[in-house]
Amino acid sequence: MALSASDLPVVYGLLTNSMSGDERVRKPAETALSQSESRPGFCSCLMEVIISKDLASQDVRLMASVYFKNSISRYWRTRRDSLGISTEEKVHLRQKLVSHLGEENDQIAQMLAVLISKIARFDYPKEWPALFSNLAERLQSADILTSHRIFMILFRTLKELSTKRLTSDQRNYSEISSHFFNYSWHLWQNDVQTILHGFASLLQNYDSNSQQHHVELYLICERWLLCLKIIRQLVISGYPGDSKSMQEVQPVKEVCPILLTAAQSFLPYYASFLNRYPKFWDFVKRACTKLMKVIVSIQGRHPYSFGDVCVLHPVMEFCLSNITDPRSEVAAFENFLIQCMILVKVILECKEYKPSLTGRAMDESRVSLEQMKKNISNAAGNLLASLMPSERIVLLCNILIRRYFVLTAIDLEEWYQNPESFHHEQDMVQWTEKLRPCAEALYIVLFENYSQLLGPVVVSIVEEAMNGCPVSVTEITPGLLLKDAAYGAAAYVYYELSNYLSFKDWFNGALSLELSNDHPNMRIIHRKVALILGQWVSEIKDDIKRPVYCALIKLLQDKDLSVRLAACRSLCLHVEDANFLQREFADLLPICFNFCFKLVEEVQEFDSKVQILNLISILVGHENEVIPFANQLVQFFQKVWEESTGESLLQIQLLIALRNFVIALDDQSTISYNILLPILHKGIDINSPDELNLLEDSMELWEATISHAPSMVPQLLTFFPCLLEIMERSFDHLQVAVNIIEGYIILGGSDFLRMHASYIAKLLDLIVGNVNDRGLLSVLPVIDTLIQCFPAEVPPTITSTLQKLILICLSGGDDRDPSKTAVRAFSAAILARILVMNTTYLAQLTSDPSLLHMLQNAGVHVEETVLLCLMDVWLDKVDNASSTQRKTYGLALSIILTLRLPQVLDKLDQILRYEPFLSCICFLFFYIYLHPILCPFLDMMNIYLVFAQVL
């Protein structure tokens, strides 16, 4: 029944109760609201609550907007199972939303903007064609607050519509861009001037500014930011990428230089407002960062238009000068420097700016699309070359290493206070979030582009640093910090620097001496040496691998946790290396395990435990001799599992380590069962709260456990029903499941079949007919194995599955599909095997009325008998069958020949064309004509079964 205005007090009361701290009050209210969502009129009641500023509390209004949003997501589209929201109510709601644009509460205003954007996704332009024109009209006479809210709605709506990918939707978006861009752009430019004028007034009249003036100016600032986001959205999504369309995007050339100018204008206020106007200082920080991010995103979308001299030249000049010689306000503005580095990095690695090395065909009369791309790329490449002369490249490289790579006093204090956290912040942080990782990323791209120029430069910096800070120096001096930075620079570009620097000489000389100095301050260098030993792994020759392994083991027992974790990571790289020398590491394995066990006791952070467990897992997976350490590893795994409750990533790493452990133990894997089987049981339990995260790795562990078990144990047998529950949920892990089933068949034998025959039947019936051809090809070998192992017991158990295989064989339609042909050939071979090994059962199966009914429902017409139809399939698919399958076909046909049916004899010439069939016929001839004289004691089926074993 529909809700009306009279129900408004009830809805208001339910919304109020849904926020109660008393669960006895909250739960019934939430249930009632959930049940009301699909009722007509519910959204209209919520809308009335939202717009009742004076009558309803702010919390209730916000809650109403949340329920409104959820209802739109679920019921705005027409649904068959619910009356939902009628067309009349939708019209009413759209009118109400557009009329309520001056919402004062920020949270509710944001929620209303989201509401309108979601409705626009469904209704624009067919049901709501006047949306943008109405908003534009309201903008003409809006006050500052209302205009801010309108721009909030515009941004949300444009962002929502930009995700629609149909051609018609993109065409509509282009039309919006063409209408709205100019208006938004002019308003944005006007607001820039207003804001800058307001900022100047703030500094000149610090004491006399009224609070009301601050509020209005801040609203203009926020509106300006929204307008900037809209402009970005229009330029990015309103035009096709120019690298594909080859159409110049004029707004790029108009917008980017002015965005750059705006950033330059705002930057001085970053320092001026810091202690005087915190709110406006925060805006300047966000504005400058956002301006640079918009330029980065425009370059990524329209690289060719961005490559014009009026854009690329000022942008690169601005960014490079800020990186190499920043003004005081920029030097302290880390986020802005990061954006400058990101922009230089993406420009340097942009493939559209790489000069083409191919020429143009001599007889080509017109400029092709590819030639246009080459021309633009060459022009942009030449412009970059002029902006990046050798002197500037060398200067930038030096600045990055000598200024941005060097650890600061704050870094050293953080390291001293918490070495573990410092390691992870330096090692795992996203490169776009911190200045030093961003500088390192830019340096790597710079070196890749100009390796021949910079190779000798980096080597000279390394040599200068080593000479300026001998190994005997233990004080934390600028020279020591420069050496740390230089070592880092050498580590990051090992693949190119090896042409200019001999690792063997470096290691045997300076690096080994560095490691011999155990002063606490040397942790700075030791950590970077650990990094070098890991990064240079591919360049390390066999004759020094052993000393390098020993060096890493030594670093693994350093007093500083950050150094030990760095050594742990580098050891992983060495053990995983294709040229890892196992024989040279064998005697170090006990020491390595012991230090890992100790290290995991000392660390506190989750990431550290994952990293150590990863090394242990890799060691177990690459070393054959782990049995001497089996008891220690079992105890270690047990402890880690007990401590990993609620930490899915750590548990996943443990499952991987256990899998490697089981594989390494092979037939002695039973010594791990005390810990392995309980963990495995939890991982494959689909009712476990961690099922979603652990199931994939648990399945692989289960497969490894079955594959390497010397015999079946009762507890493993009890796990099998879990496989049916997993497959009933999804076929995501089908291939692993198939391997597990096959392992149980071979390992469990008749005991397994006796206990779980019904589960096997359900599993196969679930899979066959519900998976694609690739899935069928993975499960058919299991059915074949089952029949070979239990020819008398299995076929009657899996009748439903075999009927589906007959349907597959007789359905046809595989002439042009190799995978369907393979499925039919394999299915036919399975049925042929049953005929050979259990002839009576196949005769019953092919004459079963339920089979004939199923074939009839599927539209398969059987002219004679199903068995003769199968004979046609065997003859038809012989060329698509494997050698073993062809022999099975031949043996099955030899049995059919004993029936002496005219339909069979008519095809005798076709049968005799194939060698496998011919050999079977010879065998049959031997039996029929010579058997009474030579072998009166033999039974024909016994001979067939002996012959079948050969298959």
Domain edges within the chain: 1-99, 239-358+369-388, 768-951
Query: For 812, left (φ over 0), alpha (ψ -120 to 50), or beta?
Result: left
To which residue do tokens 């990533």 refer? 649
| 861 vs 432, higher pLDDT | 432
Given pLDDT bands bounded at 50, 70 and 90, which one contains residue 564? very high
| 398 vs 688, higher pLDDT | 398
- Residue 705 CA to residue 670 CA, distance in Å, equals 9
What's the confidence (pLDDT) of residue 366?
53
What's the confidence (pLDDT) of residue 358?
56
Q: pLDDT (tens digit, 9 = 90+) per residue, 836-889?
A: 999 999 989 988 889 888 888 888 877 778 888 888 888 888 888 888 888 888
Q: Which two tokens stand for residue 155?
A: 């941004």
- Residue 394 CA to residue 673 CA, distance in Å, equals 60
The letter for the amino acid at 628 is P
- Residue 280 CA to residue 216 CA, distance in Å, equals 12
What's the confidence (pLDDT) of residue 950?
40
Average pLDDT over residues 524-535: 96
Nearest to 810 by CA among 775, 765, 777, 854: 854
Instruction: Name the least confident of 7-16, 48-57, 724-733.
Output: 48-57
What is each CA distance from 617 to 582, 612, 620, 660, 662, in whole angstroms? 15, 9, 5, 6, 11
Q: Which two tokens stand for residue 416?
A: 């001293």
Residue percentage of the chain with pLDDT more than 90: 59
- Residue 268 CA to residue 291 CA, distance in Å, equals 15
Q: pLDDT (tens digit, 9 = 90+) per residue, 723-776?
A: 999 999 989 999 999 999 999 999 999 999 999 999 999 999 999 989 999 999
Residue 471 — φ and ψ, nearest 5°?
Answer: -60, -30
Is residue 141 classed as helix, strand or coil in its secondary structure?
Answer: coil
Alpha helices in 644-791 (DSSP H): 648-665, 673-683, 691-707, 714-719, 721-729, 734-767, 773-789
Contacts of residue 137, Cβ cutoff 8 Å, sequence gap at least 6: none
- Residue 840 CA to residue 941 CA, distance in Å, equals 11
**What secondary structure letter does DSSP report for 308?**
S
DSSP of 597-658, one letter per residue?
HHHHHH--SHHHHHHHHHHHHHHHHH-S--GGGHHHHHHHHHHHHHHTTT-HHHHHHHHHHH
To which residue do tokens 């330059």 refer? 264
Q: pLDDT (tens digit, 9 = 90+) per residue, 928-948?
A: 544 444 444 344 444 444 444
What's this model's pTM, rounded to 2 decimal places?
0.82
- Residue 177 CA to residue 171 CA, distance in Å, equals 10
Q: Which two tokens stand for residue 575?
A: 């053990």
Q: pLDDT (tens digit, 9 = 90+) per residue, 263-310?
A: 999 999 998 888 888 999 999 999 999 999 999 999 999 999 999 999
Q: Is the pLDDT of residue 261 over 50?
A: yes
DSSP of 695-713, one letter per residue?
HHHHHHHHHHHHHT-SS--
What's the confidence (pLDDT) of residue 892?
86
What is each CA distance from 895 to 57, 332, 679, 826, 923, in whole angstroms? 86, 90, 51, 19, 11
Average pLDDT over residues 44-59: 86
- Residue 16 CA to residue 8 CA, distance in Å, equals 12
Average pLDDT over residues 673-684: 93
The letter for the amino acid at 489 is A
What's the confidence (pLDDT) of residue 797?
93
Q: Which two tokens stand for residue 541?
A: 């020759």
> Is the sign of the CA dihedral 866, 872, 878, 881 positive or negative?
negative
What's the confidence (pLDDT) of residue 461?
96
Q: Is the pLDDT of residue 86 over 70?
A: yes
| 451 vs 937, higher pLDDT | 451
Nearest to 314 by CA among 260, 272, 267: 260
To which residue do tokens 């960062």 refer? 289
Residue 482 — φ and ψ, nearest 5°?
Answer: -65, -40
Please compute, for residue 26, the number of CA atoms within 13 A of its CA located in the half-sphere on the CB side.
Answer: 6
What's the confidence (pLDDT) of residue 280?
93
To which residue do tokens 């698919």 refer? 877
What's the confidence (pLDDT) of residue 622?
80
What's the confidence (pLDDT) of residue 951?
40
Nearest to 950 by CA among 911, 923, 930: 923
What's the confidence (pLDDT) of residue 860?
81
Average pLDDT over residues 323-336: 90
What is each CA distance from 226 to 32, 154, 573, in whole angstroms? 38, 9, 46
Average pLDDT across the chain, whole number: 88
Q: pLDDT (tens digit, 9 = 90+) per residue, 238-253?
A: 888 888 888 889 999 9
What's the confidence (pLDDT) of residue 923?
53
- Residue 418 CA to residue 561 CA, distance in Å, equals 9
Average pLDDT over residues 882-909: 78
Residues 267-272: contacts with CB within 8 Å, 24+ apart?
Answer: 267/327, 267/329, 267/330, 267/333, 267/336, 268/329, 269/199, 270/329, 270/332, 270/333, 270/336, 271/328, 271/329, 271/332, 272/203
> Is the sign of the CA dihedral 823, 829, 830, 835 positive or negative?
positive
Average pLDDT over residues 327-336: 88
Given pLDDT bands bounded at 50, 70 and 90, which one contains residue 561? very high
What's the confidence (pLDDT) of residue 676?
93
- Residue 856 CA to residue 860 CA, distance in Å, equals 6
Q: At what angle do helices 799-811 and 849-857 cross, to 10 degrees?
A: 40
The secondary structure element, H or E, covering residue 581 is: none
| 389 vs 903, higher pLDDT | 389
Q: How many CB atoms lie within 10 A of CB 111?
A: 20
Residue 864 — φ and ψ, nearest 5°?
Answer: -115, -110
Question: 873 and 828 in contact (C-beta within 8 Å)?
Answer: yes
Q: How much helix, strand and coil, in percent to the nearest 5, is found in the chain? A: 75, 0, 25
Q: At what angle do helices 818-837 and 940-950 cross, to 10 degrees?
A: 140
Q: Is the pLDDT of residue 439 over 50?
A: yes
Nearest to 277 by CA among 204, 193, 191: 204
Question: 206 and 280 in contact (C-beta within 8 Å)?
Answer: no
Is-cis flag, bond preceding 125, omega within 30?
Answer: yes
Write the secondary structure of 324-374 as one string of H (helix), E (strand) and C (coil). HCCCHHHHCCHHHHHHHHHHHHHHHCCHHHCCCCCCCCCCCCCCCHHHHHH
What's the confidence (pLDDT) of residue 948?
44
Given pLDDT bands bounded at 50, 70 and 90, which one contains residue 814? low
